[in-house]
Amino acid sequence: MKIAGDWVSHPGTQALCRVLEGAGHQALFVGGCVRNALMGVAVSDIDIATDALPQTVSMLAEKAGFRAVPTGIEHGTVTVIAQGRAHEVTTFRRDVETDGRHAVVAFSAHVAEDAARRDFTMNALYADRHGVVIDPLGGLPDLRARRVRFVGDPAARIAEDYLRILRFFRFTAQHGDPDAGIDAEGLAACAANIAGLDTLSRERIGAEMRKLLAAADPAPAVAAMAQAGVLAQILPGADPRPLAPLVHLELDADPDWLRRLAAIGGQDVADRLRLSRAEARDLAALRDCIGSMESPAVLGWRMGVDRGSDALLLRACVMEQPIGPFDMIEVGRGAAARFPVTAADLAPLTGAALGARLKELEARWLHSDLRLSRDQLLA
C-alpha cells in the first residue's frame, strides 16, 4: 500500500529524506500525516521519524543548507525547514519512565520500539519517502475500519499519559466510524482511570476539549464520555443530551466548539478549561440567552449575527423551542440596527440625568423589538 500527495513529493521533503538516508539513516513519515493520507484527509503537519540522533539530524540538515531548529530537543525533535516546508524530525524513542503526565524517553534504533510507545494503532503507521506504508503493529485493519484502538494494553497506555483518555474520545469523534460504536476495551480502561485526569493541567484539558467539540459530530463521543464518568470528572454538571439535537440543527453552520460547549454547560467551565476572557464572556452570554425571552432581533443587536444565531440554536435544542421561519433573518436585522437616539438629541441633559434618559429610551426601543424611530422615542 502506498500514500501520495503534494506533501510527499515536495522537493524539500524529498531532499531532507535523501540527506538522512544518504548518511545511512532511516527517514519515515509517521503519525497524522500517514493516517490522514490513507483516510483522504488533508495533511497539514509533516512528521518524520528517524534512527539518527537529534544532533546528527541538525548537523546533516545544516550541512545540506536547511535550517534546523531544536524545538523539542529534550524529546528528540528537531524542526527542519527545507525549501520552505517545515518538518518535525524526531528520533525513534522508547519510554523509560512515565508519571501519567510526562515521559522520560531513551532514543532507539528500532521503528518497532517507536511504534509501541504511540497511543493508537492508527497513529503507529509509517511510510518511506516513496509512500510505501510500513505497519509494525498491524494498525491498517483498524484504520480501514475507522476503529480507534489503543496500542497494546489500554490501561498501560493511559497510565503513561492520562491525557490519552480525552484523546481517545477526540479521535473517536474525528476519525471513528459512528456506526461501529466506540472500542469497548478502550472505554472500560478510560472509565477505570478517570482519577488520573485530576493530575493534568487545565490548559491541556481545555485544548483537547476544543478539538473534540470542533469535530463534525462529537455527540456520540461526548455521550460515551458521560457514560464512562469522564465528562463529570472534567466538567461537573455538564449534560451531553442537548449536543446531538444541536449538531442536527446546525445544518450548514460551521462546527463551533464554543457553541457546543454552551449546549452541554457545566460548573466553573471557564476556569476548568482555562478559557480566555473573550471566550468566557461569549460562553456566559450564550448560556444567559438560552433561557431569556429576548426576541431574535434583540439577540442580534446585543450579540451580532453569529452569536445571535448561536443563541437561537441553543434555545432550540436546550429548551426544545422551535426556530421560526424568519428568526435568523430577524437576527440579521437586529445586528444591523443602530439605536436611533444620541446624546445630542437630549440636550440640555448632562451627566447622570442624560445617562438615565438614554437608558430609559433604549429599554423602550428594545421593548418595541427595535422598531420605534427616533421621533417616536423622543415624542
Is the predicted pLDDT of residue 291 greater than 90, yes or no?
no
Q: Name the band, by pLDDT with cuts 50, 70 and 90, for residue 203.
A: very high
Total-model pTM: 0.89
Q: Name the band, by pLDDT with cuts 50, 70 and 90, for residue 96.
A: low
Q: Name the band, by pLDDT with cuts 50, 70 and 90, for residue 251.
A: confident
Q: Name the band, by pLDDT with cuts 50, 70 and 90, for residue 336.
A: very high
Q: What is the mean pLDDT of residues 298-322?
A: 93
Q: State the cell numbers at 97.
A: 519512565
Q: pLDDT at position 73, please?
A: 82
What is d(CA 31, CA 53) in angstroms, rounded to the nearest whole number? 19
Is the predicted pLDDT of residue 99 greater than 60, yes or no?
no
Which of 261, 178, 265 has the alpha carbon at shortest distance from 220? Answer: 178
Q: State the cell numbers at 30.
A: 509517521
- The region of weakest confidence among 11-20, 150-159, 313-322 is 313-322
For 317, which DSSP code? H
Q: pLDDT at position 253, please?
A: 82
Q: What is the mean pLDDT of residues 169-197?
A: 95
Q: What is the mean pLDDT of residues 213-224?
A: 97
Q: What is the mean pLDDT of residues 345-361?
A: 95
Q: Name the band, by pLDDT with cuts 50, 70 and 90, for residue 379.
A: confident
Q: pLDDT at position 242, please?
A: 95
Q: pLDDT at position 95, please?
A: 74
113-135: buried (b, 16+ CB within 10 Å) or exposed (e) per residue? bbbbbbbbbbbbbbbbbebebbb
- Tell me: the pLDDT tens digits for 130-178? 999 999 999 999 999 999 999 999 999 999 999 999 999 999 999 999 8
What is d(CA 14, CA 19) in angstroms, rounded to the nearest whole number? 9
The overall average pLDDT reported for the chain is 94
What is d(CA 379, CA 372) in angstroms, rounded to the nearest whole number? 11
Which of 76, 156, 145 has the alpha carbon at shortest distance from 116? Answer: 156
Residue type, 101: R
User: How many residues are given for the chain?
Assistant: 379
Contacts of residues 309-312 at CB distance under 8 Å and 24 or more positions apart, as own/partner, are: 309/253, 310/256, 310/259, 310/262, 310/286, 311/285, 311/286
Distance of CA 307 to the CA centre of its chain: 19
Share of the chain above pLDDT 90, in %: 89
| Domains, the chain, ordered by start | 1-144 (3.30.460.10), 342-378 (no CATH)
The answer to whether 212 and 221 are in contact (CB under 8 A) is: yes
Share of the chain above pLDDT 70, in %: 97
**Residues in Cβ contact with 141 at an 8 Å cutoff, skipping those fewer than 6 apart:** 147
Q: State the cell numbers at 214.
A: 470542533
| Residue 74, CA distances (Å) to 55, 105, 290 in order | 11, 9, 48
Q: pLDDT at position 36, please?
A: 96
- For residue 80, the surrounding DSSP H or E stretch is strand 77-82
- Tell me: the pLDDT tens digits for 58-80? 999 999 999 999 988 888 999 99
The answer to whether 316 and 322 are in contact (CB under 8 A) is: yes
Residue type, 328: M
Q: What is the mean pLDDT of residues 8-35?
A: 97
Q: What is the mean pLDDT of residues 24-36?
A: 96
Helices (H), 152-272: 154-160, 163-175, 184-192, 202-213, 219-228, 230-234, 243-250, 257-264, 269-272
Is the predicted pLDDT of residue 104 greater than 80, yes or no?
no
Contacts of residues 256-261 at CB distance under 8 Å and 24 or more positions apart, as own/partner, are: 256/214, 256/310, 257/209, 257/210, 257/211, 257/212, 257/213, 257/214, 258/213, 258/282, 258/283, 258/286, 259/286, 259/310, 259/313, 259/314, 260/213, 260/218, 261/209, 261/213
| Residue 206, CA distances (Å) to 77, 249, 314, 361 in order | 25, 25, 21, 42
Phi-psi region of 151 (alpha: psi -120 to 50; beta: other; left: phi over 0): beta
